Amino acid sequence: MKLKFNSILKNIFANSIFSVIQLSFQLISVPLFINYLGAELYGEWLLVMAFSIFLQNSDFGINKYTSNLITIEYVKSNFKEYNTIFNNNIFFHLCIHFVLLVIVFIVMKYSMIDFGFKVISKGVLSNLIIIVVLNSLIGNIKNSLNAIFRAIDKLHIGLNIDNLFKVIEIALLILGLIFGVSVFALVSIILLINVLNLFCKILLSTKHFVIGYKYIDIKKLKNNLSGSIPFFVMPLSISAIDQGVIWIINIFLGSTYVVVFTTIRTFVSTIKIAVGIVHKSIWPEITRLYGLNNGLKLKKLFYQSFTFVTYAVLIFIIGISLFGWDVYVLWVGDDLEVNKTLFYTMMISASIYCIGSHASIFMLAINQVKRITSFFIVFSLLSYFILYGLIWYSLEVYYIGVFFIVYELVFALFLFREFLIEYKENKKDFYMSYKAYARRIDISFMFKN
């Protein structure tokens, strides 16, 4: 029987293409921007872009949380309910960004601070920040539309629209740099492309939703904001912990070891990126099956995808063990004082993270994350102080890798405990089911007859 790609595999392709586009642009953009803008202006460009990255949290996690709700209500044919959730999201994004625009206008008009910008004038900076805020608004609305594509099992279409317009954006930015257009024009290009991207998504999804004031429900919006807090707090906590670790290393071991740690972490994080693509791709299907109350298929999807992930991690460990160190040393060069123990311990911790994150994605996709978030924040803060004391006492960089192995292992065990409770599995059934799937390496979840 002829096999056809199902939505999961299409999502994997779309997410993979996006990762390749992002990585390629990061590799080619740095020398281009430095060459055509100069180091000082490029530094100020990065500051403006850093503000845009900060604004990615302006949705307070509501898009991720309500994406699950929209899918669940759609598969249950509760069209009024999922239209209400969607309209609430749009209303919320408009309100938040209106407030942001007012704050930007007041600060830039009446503040005497130059914010450290020397090449970009304050007037131009004001316009740039306004465009960045508008870009954030459009980005959040696009993500809300992606929730519609998820609900109708066509997420890959939304992702591929993003991929297409990202390629166009990159091409126009490169041409803009070559022809020497202003920074304002470059940011305007990004805004224009995002506007076109938004209209394209609206045209392709408009028959699946209704925009109207009658669908706005402030009470439900408040409830959704309350539920979205874990989706907002956890990424912020992860970022804070990551920066905190770098801060500790810099204080006790020096900036050279900051470079050593970050380059090793970046190198071994390739497996996190690969597994993350799989997780993002199965997320919509998890939510859809949960909405349909199809527990058997949901568990089957878990064991099939978990088997795939564990074999991918095993291959990664073997590959890194055989060739990783030599490739890493070649990548960073001879000038850096590298640490082999830190390299392999960070490899192991990254592998454990991938295993644990598989359980977490099956909790995130059904909005069961309050206990996980609470545990993560308390556990991470305690771990952070333990690491501080450990490095202060030992002044040895390799302890960082050992610390992360223990950290990821404890958190992974907690995640699987929560998974077993939520999905009503016991340890013995879990082991037997995984063993059965692992023997035949079943990847049929990516295909359909």
Q: Where are the domains of the chain?
A: 4-216, 227-443
Q: What is the pTM of this model?
A: 0.81
Q: What is the predicted pLDDT for the residue at 116?
A: 66
Q: How far apart are CA 39 and CA 408, in angstroms?
A: 39
DSSP track, 150-178: HHTT-HHHHHHHHHHHHHHHHHHHHHHHH
Q: What is the predicted pLDDT for the residue at 446?
A: 60
Q: What is the predicted pLDDT for the residue at 52?
A: 76
Contact 354, 272 (CB under 8 A): yes
Would you give the distance in Å from CA 184 to the centre of its chain? 28
Contact 145, 203 (CB under 8 A): no
Q: What is the predicted pLDDT for the residue at 22?
A: 82
Residue 363 phi, psi dihedral angles, 5° rounding: -95, -40
In 77-106, which positions are buried (b, 16+ CB within 10 angstroms) versus exposed (e)?
ebeebbbbbbbbbbbbbeebbeebeeebee
Residue 5 phi, psi dihedral angles, 5° rounding: -65, 135
Q: How far apart are CA 269 and CA 374, in angstroms?
A: 25
Other CB atoms within a 10 A radius of the CB of residue 69 amount to 26
The candidate with the shortest Cα–Cα distance to 45, out of 164, 181, 225, 163, is 181
Each of the 449 residues of the chain gets a pLDDT tens digit; together they read 233 347 788 888 888 998 888 878 877 877 777 778 787 787 777 778 777 777 777 778 888 888 988 999 888 888 888 889 889 999 999 999 999 889 888 887 777 666 667 778 878 888 888 998 999 899 999 989 988 888 888 888 999 999 999 999 999 989 998 888 888 898 899 999 999 999 999 998 887 777 766 788 889 989 988 888 888 888 777 777 777 787 888 788 777 777 778 788 888 888 888 899 989 888 888 998 888 888 888 888 898 889 989 999 999 999 999 998 888 888 777 666 777 888 899 899 999 999 999 999 999 999 888 899 889 888 888 888 888 888 888 777 778 888 889 999 999 999 999 999 998 888 888 888 888 887 776 666 566 53
